[in-house]
A and B are shown apart, each in its own frame.
Chain A
Amino acid sequence: MANELTEFVLVSVALLGIGIYGLSVKRNAIRMLFAIEIVINAANLNMVAFGRFLPHSGGQTLALFSIAIAAAEVAVGLSLIIVAYRMYHNIDIADFRSLKG
């Protein structure tokens, strides 16, 4: 391999950090969804990288499952956002705080 495992893992850690940053800062629901996608991709990258260096097929398998599950998750998440949008005409998560205390 031309590249080292560490490098891939570091890229993945960077993406994980960015994703968590996005989730704890952004207020727009769709943007938060972006952040989640970034975190999931970071994990997938990690998985495939480890799988390549072992080498073992499990990494790719999990990545495949993870991608498919992310698709399902995003479908449900988006529909929730659409319901929220119909109700409030707004998708600012920080404004949804009737439940508190």
Chain B
Amino acid sequence: MATDAMGLPFEATSAAAWLVWILPFVAALIMPAVGKASKNLTGYVAVGFALMSALSAASLIPVALDASEIHHQISWIEAIGLKGGVLADPLSVIMANVVGWISFLIMIYSTGYMKGDKDITRFWFWMMFFIGSMQIIVLSDNLLQVFFGWEGVGLASYALISFWYRDKKKDHVGTEGRTVLGLLDYYAPTHAGMKAFIMTKVGDVMMIAGMLLIFLFAGTFGFKELMGDLGWAEAMSAQGLLVPAFVLLFGGAVGKSAQFPLNEWLLEAMTGPTAVSALIHAATMVKAGVFLVARIGPIVFALAAAGIMAEQFFEIIAWVGAITALLLATQGMVNQEIKKVLAYSTGSQIGYMMMALGVAGLSHQYVDGYTAGFFHLISHAMFKASLFMAAGSLLHVIGSRFMSDMGGLRKHMKKTYAFMWAAGLGLMGAPFITTGFWSKDAIFAAVYESGSEWALPLYSIAVLTAVITTFYTTRMMGLVFFGKKSKHIEKMEEEGHHVHEASLSMWVPYGILAVLTIGIGLIGFSAEANIHHMFTEYLDHSFGIHTEHVESGESFLPAPLDGLNPIALGSSLVAFSIGIGLGYIFYIGRWVDPVKFVNSNIFFYAIHKVMLNRWYLNAIIYWCFVVAPLWLARAVFRYFERTAIDYGMNDGFQKAAGWGAKVVQGTQTGVTQSYLFVFGAGLLFVVLILLI
């Protein structure tokens, strides 16, 4: 039953944990009725319920500060001893607040962004459904319930990506007519939704397989119960199934968080409304994978203390994260669509978080990497949501998704300009003033200090990615706000449309987040120290992972920075300077024309081409898993169902005997005799396999 560590009245606190995810579902359920009454009302209802849900999450904060937990269970499926419940511990409380408050802000933004859409009720329904499902993932106390939320967010994501299902041209992503390896690089919303659904489903299938494996050995899905008796892990380890099971679970995270090699759906997910991209494909749902790894990582790490080693699990996570971070960052450098650049950046930054959570398990100080990854999750959620919403208002105003159609906007959209710089600096990791800097620096330090054999290569990748990140963020800012006005804008102005700032309900939310990025950044170091402290206690309490108190030796750094790793700090500064310098040369100062630069050298040209074509990964996936199987299905259909059975028996002979065209036009199947023949042969076949 419930553990009431806090001394608060038990009903109140645990009820708040339940309400966090139940309220959004209530809102979703009443939404059709509200929509019938009045379409204008739907927005207020959604915002109101999002606020209530966020407030419930906020009421749980004391739990996190105490590093205690609320665990409340109800019986769910007694037949197999399964219980449902909520588990509010520091990890989930922080996450629930991030999700709750960011979604509240995005809901406000959406009231402006989606104004006048005739399918608005559907939009709110799925948004609320999404928030509820996401909070289930966060607050569940067992894997199965997590999986329910997991599927719920998948469904909502599918429905919202294809929200504009009429597939109008302006809702596509990609450039019309461009092909990669013979396949169009141009996606309609419905196609994109389908792609996301199927690609994440691959991960889901792996996840459920992993869950089932663990359940068969442990007899439970609960996180707390898994930590209770470790006999299951020993048994699994003895059969060599422990690492595979957890890697399968991680497969689910790979799919949902768009990590390599299941990363490609995230880019096309940008066909959805920008509010959706901000909420689902930047701030929350894609973080579900990171959250899952943060949930199960300590369990795996704690097993090591019991002598059950599963290092490969962490190595795989670290490498998947590193590869994704670099791969997607490079593609972000060359893309022309503002939302896609941000999407690449999202995947890349999540790669960072994975890397941190991975190296955490490879080092002795688990809490360092753990804190770094999670802190980066929080800061990324803020600045990326802000950037996306800002990009959404650009799209709203300009009416085009291409950055080449923007340019010189800094005078017209001053607020957006300022906020985008603030959030963009967060993404770049501008030293000392942004949350992005502190979290990224913590990741660098964690990787560097992990003492793993992979530390050096991972560290190089991390730094290289940081350079690229800074570069493409500067590039984005340069293309959008600097230089001359594009022809598109000039044409708009001729037609009498004026470029103006977006409405209040739109700029306020991203303004708040941008200000927070800087504001928390200013106290960033102590914020991180607080989280670090919280997690140290949490890991110790819940998983028995002790952290040795390393005395920070004589640091030559000045007092406020005491305890930072000087090498990480140094490389962070260098990476930032190189990236922003290069970006300034090409895109803000415009001293060198990037097009000429790329074309000047066959080497640059080739690299540019590969990056633009998404490393050919997307095309290869399509060839292998879509085009080829369709061929195969057609072939099976044509040659097995239609021909093999009947051709040999019927038409083949008649053709050979030259009985003419009559036979050819007579279609092949539907002939009962062949069916009966197969029946007889099948009977023989069954008897045969029985006798063998």
Q: Is the CB of B680 within 8 A of A99?
A: no
A84 to chain B, nearest CB (A): 12
Q: Which residues of B contact A93 (CB under 8 A)?
A: 671-673
Q: Is the CB of B669 within 8 A of A23?
A: no
User: Which of A25, A27, A99, A100: most chain B Cβ within 10 A?
Assistant: A100
A72 at the interface (CB under 8 A from B): no
A81 to chain B, nearest CB (A): 13
B21 to chain A, nearest CB (A): 46
Of the residues A20, A24, A26, A97, contact of B669 by C-beta under 8 Å: A97
Q: Which residues of A contact B676 (CB under 8 A)?
A: 20, 23-24
B13 to chain A, nearest CB (A): 61
Within 8 A of A (CB), among B614-666: 637, 641-642, 650
B30 to chain A, nearest CB (A): 46
Q: What is the 8 Å Cβ interface bit string for chain A, positions 26-56, against chain B (1 contact, 0 not)?
A: 1100000000000000000000000000000
Q: Is the CB of B668 within 8 A of A100?
A: yes
Given contacts A20-B680, A101-B641, A101-B642, contact A94 B673 (CB under 8 A): yes
Give Cα distance in the complex from A94 to B674, angstroms. Answer: 9
Q: Is the CB of A99 within 8 A of B670?
A: yes
Q: Is the CB of B670 within 8 A of A96?
A: yes
Of the residues B637, B650, B680, contact of A23 by C-beta under 8 Å: B680
Give Cα distance in the complex from A39 to B641, angstroms. Answer: 27
Q: Which residues of B contact A94 (CB under 8 A)?
A: 650, 671-673
Q: Which residues of A contact B668 (CB under 8 A)?
A: 100
User: Which of B642, B650, B677: most chain A Cβ within 10 A?
Assistant: B677
Q: Is the CB of A101 within 8 A of B669?
A: yes
Give Cα distance in the complex from A96 to B641, angstroms. Answer: 17
Total contacting residues, chain B, CB less than 8 A: 16
B124 to chain A, nearest CB (A): 43
Which chain A residue lies CB-closest to B637?
A101
Q: Which residues of A contact B530 (CB under 8 A)?
A: none
B40 at the interface (CB under 8 A from A): no
Q: What is the 8 Å Cβ interface bit string for chain B, positions 220-263, against chain A (1 contact, 0 not)?
A: 00000000000000000000000000000000000000000000
Q: Is the CB of B670 within 8 A of A97?
A: yes
User: Which of B642, B670, B674, B677: most chain A Cβ within 10 A?
Assistant: B670
Give Cα distance in the complex from A90 to B60, angstroms. Answer: 79
A27 to chain B, nearest CB (A): 7
Give Cα distance in the complex from A27 to B666, angstroms. Answer: 15
Q: Is the CB of A100 within 8 A of B677?
A: no
Q: Which residues of A contact B679 (CB under 8 A)?
A: 24
Q: Which residues of A contact B672 (CB under 8 A)?
A: 93-94, 96-97
Q: Is the CB of B667 within 8 A of A24?
A: no
Q: Which residues of B contact A3 (CB under 8 A)?
A: none
B676 to chain A, nearest CB (A): 5
Q: Which residues of B contact A97 (CB under 8 A)?
A: 667, 669-672
Q: Is the CB of B670 within 8 A of A23?
A: no
Q: Which residues of B contact A79 (CB under 8 A)?
A: none
Give Cα distance in the complex from A26 to B674, angstroms. Answer: 11
Question: Could you list 26 examples of A-B contacts with CB < 8 Å?
Answer: A20-B680, A23-B673, A24-B679, A24-B680, A25-B673, A26-B673, A27-B673, A93-B671, A93-B672, A94-B650, A94-B672, A96-B670, A97-B669, A97-B670, A97-B671, A97-B672, A98-B670, A100-B667, A100-B668, A100-B669, A100-B670, A101-B637, A101-B641, A101-B642, A101-B669, A101-B670
Among all A-B residue pairs, the 10 with the closest Cβ atoms: A97-B670, A100-B670, A24-B677, A100-B669, A20-B680, A23-B676, A24-B676, A93-B672, A94-B671, A97-B671
In addition to A94-B650, A101-B641, 10 A-B residue pairs with Cβ atoms within 8 Å of each other are: A24-B674, A24-B680, A93-B673, A94-B671, A96-B670, A99-B670, A100-B667, A100-B668, A100-B670, A101-B637
